[in-house]
């Protein structure tokens, strides 16, 4: 067990462990650590860094920045560990001995397993956040992870965070995590940076639809395009897709759908974009379409796409799917509309319900969505809640 943790209001040193800091698609990880209260001394330990112009951190400890020789030596030690069935991260252990934190926060469950021996040796409290593929796809594609997670779940002074209650129930039921070790902790949105700017459609104008996601099967983009092709028969469309190939096969399916339905002339493929660009795109569109599904290999959102939190906070109409924890963010008929997974008829019906509702109902839904984000997803509030979790407190 770790040493007693400092009381609230006193300094607490925390190491954030993520092998790569930080892909564009994981901007929510940056928001978590930067919204921690000032008494949390947060350090990032990683193997390599990217996009630091967008995701700067005051205390970065990056193996690749410490020289080619040391990096190659570490990689050799890592590969030797793989050969004997261990996949630890030796550099993390070195940094824990130097930094002497009270808490290590591992991002993604598989990284939590890689870190747990070093965390235990350092006598730290361990907080592990599951996000999606680490819980759904990984144990299916590589069954050895069920054994590894069982080993991780058995560790003392360790808790596991999930974005929503559906994800928490799944972590317990499908992977065997003790329910008393699971804490629901919503990801936060910076409500000061994402000002509320409701944008409603006027009949007769083109309906501007935004899709923003990596091209992976679990994002369900082909079903969204199937639905939009039918909507286009009644309403002129301008479609923007922000994202690109997380999966080349899925990209081919998306391009094929655009061609099959003749949507190329009204669709802009914007590629991957910084988070700020995506938020600005939301301000100029009427409808955000996010139709996630469970993929054939078991991959899922686990929780929910963070872009839905941004959209709910900003004030854009939303049509999404009944998938994982999405219904906790998008309340069907109250803050947006939902359809079942892969249900093209349902997506079409949801979009048409939104179109038929009219400006007064749209504004009421957008106001309700912003209020919901303020209550449950405010990044500053969530930062304080995360700091309390680091200190061993459980949410009320």
pLDDT tens per residue, range 122-133: 999 999 999 988
**How far are the Cα atoms of 6, 152, 180, 370, 377 from residue 394, in angstroms, in the given order?**
15, 20, 10, 26, 17
Q: Which helix (DSSP H) or strand (DSSP E) does residue 55 occupy?
A: none
Residues 6 or more apart in contact with residue 259 via CB below 8 angstroms: none
pLDDT of 1 higher than 50: no
Closest by alpha carbon to 149, among 164, 170, 163, 166?
Answer: 170
Question: 218, 247 in Cβ contact below 8 A?
Answer: no
pLDDT > 90 fraction of the chain, expressed in percent and rounded: 79
pLDDT recorded at residue 228? 98
Distance, in Å, from the CA atom of 327 to the CA atom of 320, rounded to the nearest integer, reads: 9
Counting every residue written for the chain, the total comes to 396
Question: 209, 287 in Cβ contact below 8 A?
Answer: yes
Distance, in Å, from the CA atom of 171 to the CA atom of 185, rounded to the nearest integer, reads: 14
pLDDT recorded at residue 71? 72
Residues 6 or more apart in contact with residue 333 via CB below 8 angstroms: none
Q: Are strands 158-162 and 40-46 parallel, antiparallel or unpaired?
A: unpaired
Is residue 68 very low, low, confident or very high in pLDDT (cuts 50, 70, 90)? confident
Question: 250, 174 in Cβ contact below 8 A?
Answer: no
Cα dihedral 213, 215, 220, 222 sign: positive
Mean pLDDT of 39-51: 95
CB atoms within 10 A of CB 71: 17
Is residue 10 very low, low, confident or very high in pLDDT (cuts 50, 70, 90)? confident
Distance, in Å, from the CA atom of 198 to the CA atom of 240, rounded to the nearest integer, reads: 18
CB atoms within 10 A of CB 246: 16
Is residue 86 very low, low, confident or very high in pLDDT (cuts 50, 70, 90)? low
**How far are the Cα atoms of 60, 74, 362 from residue 50, in angstroms, in the given order?**
12, 19, 39
Mean pLDDT of 327-332: 96
Distance, in Å, from the CA atom of 304 to the CA atom of 323, rounded to the nearest integer, reads: 8
DSSP string, 194-216: S--------TTSPEEEEEE--B-
3-state SS assignment for residue 226: helix
Question: 152, 112 in Cβ contact below 8 A?
Answer: yes
pLDDT of 334 higher than 70: yes
Angle separating helix axes 68-83 and 90-99, nearest 10 degrees: 120
- What phi and psi, each to the nearest 5 degrees, are found at residue 339? -130, 160
DSSP string, 144-169: HHHHHHHHHHT-TTEEEEESSHHHHH
Closest by alpha carbon to 346, among 239, 223, 220, 191?
Answer: 223
Residues 6 or more apart in contact with residue 94 via CB below 8 angstroms: none
Distance, in Å, from the CA atom of 104 to the CA atom of 122, rounded to the nearest integer, reads: 10
Residues 6 or more apart in contact with residue 182 via CB below 8 angstroms: 159, 160, 161, 162, 168, 171, 172
pLDDT of 365 higher than 50: yes
pLDDT recorded at residue 200? 85
The domains found in the chain, sorted by start residue, are 12-188+378-390 (3.40.50.2000), 207-376 (3.40.50.2000)
Mean pLDDT of 239-256: 92
3-state SS assignment for residue 391: coil
Distance, in Å, from the CA atom of 51 to the CA atom of 54, rounded to the nearest integer, reads: 6
């Amino acid at each position: 067990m770790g040493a007693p943790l400092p009381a609230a209001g006193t300094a607490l040193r925390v190491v954030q462990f993520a092998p790569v800091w930080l892909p564009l698609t994981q901007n929510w990880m940056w928001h978590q650590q930067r919204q921690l209260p000032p008494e949390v001394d947060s350090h990032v330990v990683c193997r390599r860094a990217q996009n630091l112009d967008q995701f700067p951190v005051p205390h970065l400890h990056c193996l690749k920045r410490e020289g080619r020789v040391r990096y190659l030596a570490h990689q050799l030690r890592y590969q030797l560990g793989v050969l004997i069935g261990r996949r630890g991260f030796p550099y993390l252990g070195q940094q824990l001995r130097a930094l002497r934190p009270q808490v290590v926060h591992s991002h993604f469950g598989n990284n939590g397993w890689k870190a747990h021996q070093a965390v235990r040796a350092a006598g730290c409290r361990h907080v592990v956040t599951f996000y999606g593929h680490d819980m759904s796809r990984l144990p299916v594609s590589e069954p050895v992870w069920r054994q590894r997670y069982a080993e991780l779940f058995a560790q003392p002074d360790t808790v596991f965070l999930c974005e929503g209650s559906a994800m928490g129930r799944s972590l317990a039921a499908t992977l065997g995590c003790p329910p008393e070790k699971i804490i629901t902790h919503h990801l936060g949105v910076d409500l000061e940076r994402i000002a509320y700017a409701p944008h409603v459609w006027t009949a007769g104008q083109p309906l501007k639809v935004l899709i923003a996601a990596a091209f992976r099967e679990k994002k369900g983009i082909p079903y969204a395009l199937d639905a939009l092709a039918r909507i286009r028969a009644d309403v002129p469309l301008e479609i923007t897709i922000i994202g690109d190939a997380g999966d080349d096969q899925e990209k081919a399916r998306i391009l094929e759908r655009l061609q099959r339905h003749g949507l190329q002339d009204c669709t802009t493929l914007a590629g991957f974009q910084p988070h700020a660009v995506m938020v600005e795109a939301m301000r100029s569109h009427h409808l955000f379409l996010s139709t996630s599904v469970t993929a054939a290999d078991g991959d899922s959102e686990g929780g929910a796409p963070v872009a839905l939190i941004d959209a709910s906070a900003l004030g854009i109409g939303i049509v999404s799917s009944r998938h994982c924890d999405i219904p906790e963010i998008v309340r069907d008929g109250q803050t947006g509309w939902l359809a079942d997974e892969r249900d093209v008829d349902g997506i079409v019906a949801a979009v048409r319900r939104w179109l038929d509702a009219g400006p007064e109902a749209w504004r009421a839904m957008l106001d309700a969505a912003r209020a919901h984000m303020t209550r449950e997803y405010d990044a500053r509030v969530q930062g304080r809640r995360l700091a309390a979790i680091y200190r061993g407190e459980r949410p009320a």
